[in-house]
């Protein structure tokens, strides 16, 4: 998983827009998570423009990690179950 924060300049009074001293603009500071292998967007969150890059990362990533772990566990269990159907002797340790 790849986490990134970005900045998006705003040109009108938009909700959550704030002055960012680093870029010296009024902006939004979104946080995004991508799948490292496929590049698919997993989650995005629009944040205040003046928050530090890592603010809120743990709460942001927790549901994504939980979902990915659940899928991994289900895939692992399904694979093992299919192997026991295909190769019953292998499942008994023979």
Task: State mean pLDDT over 86-90.
Answer: 63
Q: What is the pTM of this model?
A: 0.57
Task: State mean pLDDT over 58-74.
Answer: 76
Q: With pLDDT > 90 as the criterion, what percentage of the chain qualifies?
A: 1
Among 10-19, 44-53, 67-76, name the one with the lowest average pLDDT.
Answer: 67-76
- Give yes or no for residue 94 having a pLDDT over 80: no
* Nearest by Cα to 4 from 37, 41, 59: 41
Give residue 93's region: left, alpha or beta (phi > 0; psi -120 to 50). left
**pLDDT reported for residue 88:** 60
* Residue 58 burial (C-beta neighbours within 10 Å; 0-12, 13-18, 19+): exposed
């Amino acid at each position: 998983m790849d986490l990134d924060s970005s900045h998006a300049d705003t040109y009108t009074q938009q909700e959550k827009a704030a002055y960012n001293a680093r870029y010296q603009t009024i902006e939004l500071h979104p946080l995004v998570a991508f799948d490292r292998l496929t590049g698919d967007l997993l989650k995005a969150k629009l944040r205040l423009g003046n928050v530090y890059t890592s603010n809120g990362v743990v709460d942001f990533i927790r549901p994504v990690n939980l979902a990915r772990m659940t899928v991994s566990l289900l895939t692992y269990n399904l694979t093992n179950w299919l192997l026991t159907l295909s190769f019953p002797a292998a499942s008994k340790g023979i």
